[in-house]
Amino acid sequence: MNYALDAERQRASDIQDPNLRSEYLHSLNLIERLHRLLLDVIKDEFDRTGGSDLNAVQALLLYNMGDKELTAGELKSRGYYMGSNVSYNLKKLVDMGYIDYERSESDKRSVRVSLSAKGRKAAEVVHKLYQRQLGSVEQVAQVTGEEFHGLNKALARLERFWTDQIRFRL
């Protein structure tokens, strides 16, 4: 069985454009590194502004929640949080006072969460960081709005491709 899989992979790699393969693998590496780097940038901002009780994933979750009232399931399904431990982080954020929660009247198992005043302040730190970066990303990083548009278009297609891989088990 393993031999058959190896043979199929070899056939697939034989027909692939070597440049496409190289660029695809390089892109995967960059996506992973950029996500970790974004988390490092956010954590550094909180360390400098005195909010170091939050980790970067939690801060990004607060920012992405914004003014919405959501359930834990909605956080995951809307792509605001990709971890399997969303419940753990929500509990920590509630305990630290960043998130308010309310049990559903109709379904006592369901909890709706929203940002507390402290959570809104933390989300504002991320917002100000992004705004500050917008002021210099074109001059310093030399990435234009048009390039971001093309990048976003390609990343959205890649997201759909990967979603289909999971959904249809391709």
Predicted confidence pLDDT, tens digits, the chain (170 residues): 566 556 556 666 666 788 999 999 999 999 999 999 999 999 999 999 877 789 999 999 999 999 999 887 788 777 666 556 777 888 899 999 999 988 877 777 778 899 999 999 999 999 999 999 999 999 999 999 999 999 999 999 999 999 999 999 87
The pLDDT, as a whole number, for residue 124 is 96
The pLDDT, as a whole number, for residue 159 is 92
Q: Catalogue all structural domains in the chain, each as residue range(s) with its CATH number.
A: 57-168 (1.10.10.10)
The pLDDT, as a whole number, for residue 31 is 95
The pLDDT, as a whole number, for residue 42 is 96
Query: Distance between CA 123 and CA 28 in Å, rounded?
Result: 28
pTM of the complete model: 0.82
Query: Distance between CA 158 and CA 147 in Å, rounded?
Result: 16
The pLDDT, as a whole number, for residue 83 is 58
**56 CB-near residues (< 8 Å, 6+ apart):** 38, 39, 40, 42, 43, 46
Residue listed under structure tokens 């393993």: 2
Q: Which amino acid is at 141?
A: A
Query: Distance between CA 8 and CA 20 in Å, rounded?
Result: 19
Joined together, the tokens standing for residue 7 give: 């043979």
Joined together, the tokens standing for residue 61 give: 């979750």
Residue listed under structure tokens 């043979």: 7
